[in-house]
Structure formats: C-alpha cells, structure tokens
C-alpha cells in the first residue's frame, strides 16, 4: 500500500512541475520579414500581449515558419538594432530566446 501512495505522490509531483513550465511563457507569432541579405529583418516574434516585434538572436530552424504560433521565454535587456526594411527603417529590440515551443492552444 505504501508503494502505491509513494508512486501516486511522485506522479502528481511530476505533473505539477510539468504544468508550471509553460506558465511563464509568452504567446507570440513568428513573422518572416524577408531575407536579411535582401532588405529584410529575418524571422521576428510578434508578442500577443502588446504587438511588439522582437528580433531573436537565434531562432531554431524548426520554428522558422511565417505565422507559426509559439510560446517563448525571453531575456530582454533593451538592446536593439536598426532594420533596413525598404522603404522605412525600424528599430527592433533584440532578445535572447531561452525556450520556445509550438503553441498547441
């Protein structure tokens, strides 16, 4: 009987920790702004909460699909760069992705 109680407790603990992982993640949409070598900014993230466009320092190739809904964890320090998109130039904040998953919602 004790084994079953311990096993149940362990299973519930794992499920609780797994559920909290996505709690701190932000919903976003991948935006393909065009090839960097041809007046584009590469792949950007449009955050759902305020519509901000961010440029990740590195975007895994599995997530480089325009319009893909993702959940991300970011390190934002306010650094940015100017993106030369024709006919305008935009200042984009550059962020480090610490985690990214496909949004199943």
Total structural domains within the chain: 1
**Residues in the chain where the model's pLDDT stays below 50:** none
* pLDDT at res. 6: 57
Q: Is residue 54 part of a domain?
A: yes
Q: Is residue 6 part of a domain?
A: no
Q: Is residue 5 part of a domain?
A: no
Q: Is residue 35 part of a domain?
A: yes
Domain membership of residue 43 as a residue range: 25-102
* pLDDT at res. 64: 95
* pLDDT at res. 49: 92
**CA dihedral for 64, 74, 18, 103, sign (positive or negative):** negative
Q: Is residue 95 part of a domain?
A: yes
Residue 69 is part of a domain; what is its CATH number?
A: 2.40.50
Q: Is residue 18 part of a domain?
A: no
């Amino acid at each position: 009987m004790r084994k079953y109680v311990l096993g149940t407790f362990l299973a519930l603990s794992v499920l609780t920790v797994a559920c909290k992982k996505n709690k701190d993640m932000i919903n976003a949409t991948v935006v393909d702004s065009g090839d960097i070598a041809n007046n584009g900014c590469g792949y950007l993230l449009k955050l759902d909460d305020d519509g901000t466009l961010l440029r990740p320092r590195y975007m895994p190739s599995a997530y480089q699909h325009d319009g893909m809904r993702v959940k991300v964890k970011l390190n934002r320090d306010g650094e940015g760069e100017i993106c030369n998109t024709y006919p305008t130039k935009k200042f984009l904040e550059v962020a480090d992705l610490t985690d990214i998953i496909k949004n199943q919602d």
